[in-house]
Amino acid sequence: MFVEILSRLARKLDIPIDDRPFKPHVTLVKKAKTQTSLEFDPIIWHSNSFCLVESCRFSNGIEYRIVEKWEGK
């Protein structure tokens, strides 16, 4: 798995990494005030690329910057 390869490389380079198990996700809501229970069928999501995104905090909010993008074949 890709995350395992990246984790090994980071450890070899003494780059600190989060020890929590990796769980791919999509953030739908941030700073929600209440929790709502939703039931829906799983979403099958196909992709031909992915990005490494950096979140940058500024006084007026957060900006997400694409650091690198990889295209599939």
Under DSSP, the state recorded for 54 is: E
31 within some domain: no
Do residues 71 and 49 touch, judged by C-beta distance below 8 A? yes
Q: What is the pLDDT of residue 28?
A: 80
pLDDT at 41 (0 to 100): 92
Q: Specify if 1 maps to a domain.
A: no
User: Using CA atoms, how far apart are residues 53 and 56, in angstroms rounded to an integer?
Assistant: 10
Q: What is the pLDDT of residue 72?
A: 80
In a domain, 39, yes or no: no
Query: How confident is the prediction along the chain (73 residues), in pLDDT tens digits per residue?
Result: 778 888 899 999 999 988 888 888 788 887 889 988 888 898 888 888 888 899 999 999 989 999 999 898 7
Range of the domain at 70: 47-73
Amino acid 69: pLDDT: 93
Two structure tokens written together for 23: 């769980």
* Total domain count, the chain: 1
